[in-house]
Structure 1
Amino acid sequence: MHRRTRGRHYDQAYDQRRRQGMKGWLIYKEEDRKRNKTFISWLQEAGFRRGMQLDVVTYETLAVNLSGDGPMFTGRTKPDFLIVRSSTPWLNEAAEMHGLRVFNPSCVSRTANDKRLSHALMSSIGVPMLTSTAVHRNNLQDIVPVYPFILKDPRGRGGTGVEWISRPQQIGPALKEELLMQPVGGQRGKDLRVYIVGGRIVGSVLRESETNFKANISIGGTASLYDLTDTERDVVEKITSSLSLDFAGIDFLIHEDGTLLFNEIEDAVGCRSLYMNSSIDIADVFIGYVAEQMA
């Protein structure tokens, strides 16, 4: 799959030429919708080519009827499916209760959007990771951690809510109440993201930073396309066989010996580094998968 040049008048053409067929919603929070306009247009174009209408609906504008009387979405006609990119697991699950196909399913969204659950799952299936402890901020001093260590917001994403703690003075009310605590580990400023569509590996990128212990592209890291070894593929496939990933990213730290350590699952995964470093059009790959699922 190759990237294609999108014309600047595409949105107008889409509105004029959209086909009457299956309809889905792309659910984004408003701030994420603004940041992802280009990727959204690629998803819509891929849907258009397959006779599917994909409308952007912002999470903040949804009124969801939970009482059981009347339509699920107040003032709106229910679509055929949802692509939820808002990291709101309750919405995925509520939609499934109303018979909607949701990408990703609620079990994935719930697990991916809470690092405590994802690490518990990885431990249960034997995927290597750093020692991980769910803690409350008020209990940190009693645990007497070895400095330095890492604290993470269990619901943070994109590198947000990750703190390097090197002294007791950093433990205070500015931290989230509920936290995931881990020792410092892995090769500093380096991680691996593996892109999954329909449970299959689509591509991988190695992300690196020379100035930060976090390697996210959004905070200045660099990326390059990466070929997984057979052993690394086995680790990834152990995860995909335990969790039905429609479209997600699995992030790994790199151990000092070069092996993979599970870090997190990105439910609403960002794809900029894959587009920057390959000809893979993952928006088209994903919508192709959606079309097959909805056929």
Structure 2
Amino acid sequence: MNYTGWIIINGSIATDKFIDYATMIEEAAAKQKMKTICLKNDAVLTLLCPKNGTVSPIPNHNKLPDFAFFIDKDIYLARQLEQLGVRVFNSSLAIEISDDKIYTYQMLMRNQLPIPETVIAPKKYHADNLPSDYIQEIINHFGFPLIVKEAYGSFGEQVHLIDNQQSLTDIISNIGERPFVFQRYIEESRGRDIRVQVVGDKAITAVERQNEVDFRANVTNGGKMLPFPLNENTEKLAVAAAKAIGADFAGVDLLFGQDSELLICEINANAHIRNLYECTGVNAADYMITYIKKELSR
């Protein structure tokens, strides 16, 4: 069967990086005789109507695809497509959980998977600071340095390494009403982590990211990638992490803990794959399309 698919990117950030990712998926699909088109989320009309709710491209009102591949976090569009019977990769729920680091950590804890020790900051309705006795309790518990991480953010930009009480008070004030967590700083993993690419029940490749100038390993912040040899324990942990949030595929970031223990840092439901391919020679797009085709044939 020749399946059809929509590749969804965000119209407000349709940069070369996102378009390149979409192109990799399009090319992989074409190799397997699957027809896809790339659509910006602001180029489709999502109509909510009890008798005739639908999603259609503008201006062409084509029929719905067999599947949608999301390189975006528009969970409302993803959910609408699901309600109309379109299989979405990843699901709206997986995208929602992945996008919210607090939700992610709660699902990982629920599945008894290893994460850095984390405290969820109380929800605030104003930008006021937390009570001084609460802040002192956080300091007593974690000591310095510690991590403050916002629930929403990309490329490590909302992750802060805090060295003293004044900096802690300042960053809490700057975050304001946005949700965030306090987290134990993992010194063993300073400037380095592992990115494992998971597709279905398998980890297909991995890289170690190293950054000599920043505590965050992100390539965006100046880090570099090296191929990382997968072993059974690393693969098992990464696959379990992806399954914990219901992701069909994901980039799972692992930290180096004490005594060679690995800790789950984040799960990216729409992780970019170009750097991964250039570093390891593994084209995740081919594996993703093969997985999608298998899922649709069920």
List alignment gaps of at least 5 residues for structure 2. none
Q: Structure 1 pair 239/172, CA: closer, same or farther in 2 (3 Å)?
A: closer
Which residue of structure 1 aligns with residue 44 of structure 2?
Answer: 62
* Matched-pair identity in %: 24
**Is 1:134 aligned with 2:120?**
yes
My pick for the range that moved more, 239-248 or 184-193, is 239-248
Partner residue of 1:125? 111
| C-alpha spacing 1:89/1:139, structure 2 compared with 1 (3 Å) | farther
Q: Deviations over 1:251-275 (max 9, x none)?
A: 1111132211111100110223311
3-state secondary structure, aligned to 2:55: coil
| 1:82 Cα offset (Å) | 0.8
The corresponding residue for 1:25 is 6
Aligned residues of 2:195 and 2:252 also touching (Cα < 8 A): yes
**274 and 89 in structure 1: CA distance in 2 versus 1, 3 angstrom threshold:** same
Does 1:154 pair with 2:151? Answer: yes
What residue number does 1:208 align with?
210
Structure 2 Cα separation of the partners of residues 44 and 99 of structure 1:
22
CA contact (8 A) 2:150 2:181 kept: yes
User: Once the two structures are superposed, what CA deviation does each residue of 1:193-235 show, in whole Å capped at 9, x if it has no partner?
Assistant: 1101123111111111111011111221011111133332332
Deviations 1:27-82 (A, max 9, x none): 11131443233332221111112222211111233321122333512553222211
Asked whether 1:218 is paired with 2:215, we answer no
- For the pair 1:82 / 2:68, whether they are aligned, the reply is yes
Q: Which structure: greater helix fraction?
A: 2
Gap runs ≥5 in structure 1? 1-19
Residue identity matched to 1:184: Y
Q: How many Å separate the matches in 2 of 1:247 and 1:278?
A: 18
Structure 1 moving runs of 4+ over 4 Å: none
Give the match for residue 15 of structure 1.
none
Structure 1 counterpart of 2:181, one-letter code:
L
Question: Deviations along 1:148-201, whole A, 9 cap, x unmatched?
Answer: 321112121222211122232423543252112212114201111110112311
Kindly provide the amino acid, as one letter, of the partner of residue 29 in structure 1: N
CA distance in 2, matches of 1:152, 1:129: 14
Q: Could you say what secondary structure the match of 1:130 adopts? A: coil
After TM superposition, the structure 1 stretch with the greater mean CA deviation from structure 2, 114-123 or 66-75, is: 66-75
Aligned equivalents of 2:253, 2:190: Cα separation in 1:
14
CA 1:163 to 1:241, structure 2 compared with 1: closer, same or farther past 3 Å?
Answer: closer
The one-letter code of the counterpart of 1:261 is L
- In 2, are the aligned partners of 1:200 and 1:240 still within 8 Å (CA)? no
- The DSSP-based 3-state class of the residue aligned with 1:73 is strand
User: Using the alignment, how far apart are the partners of 2:270 and 2:240 within structure 1?
Assistant: 21
Superposition CA RMSD, Å: 2.2
User: Structure 2 CA distance, aligned partners of 1:140 and 1:35?
Assistant: 42
- CA–CA separation in structure 1 for the residues paired with 2:14 and 2:135: 37
Please tell me whether residue 116 in structure 1 is matched to residue 102 in structure 2: yes
- Corresponding residue for 2:25? 43
TM-score if structure 1 supplies the norm length?
0.85
1:163 is aligned, of 154, 160, 163, to: 160
Which residue of the partner structure matches residue 187 of structure 1?
189
The one-letter amino acid paired with 1:154 is: A
Partner residue of 2:174?
174
Shift of 1:120: 0.8
2:274 corresponds to which residue? 272
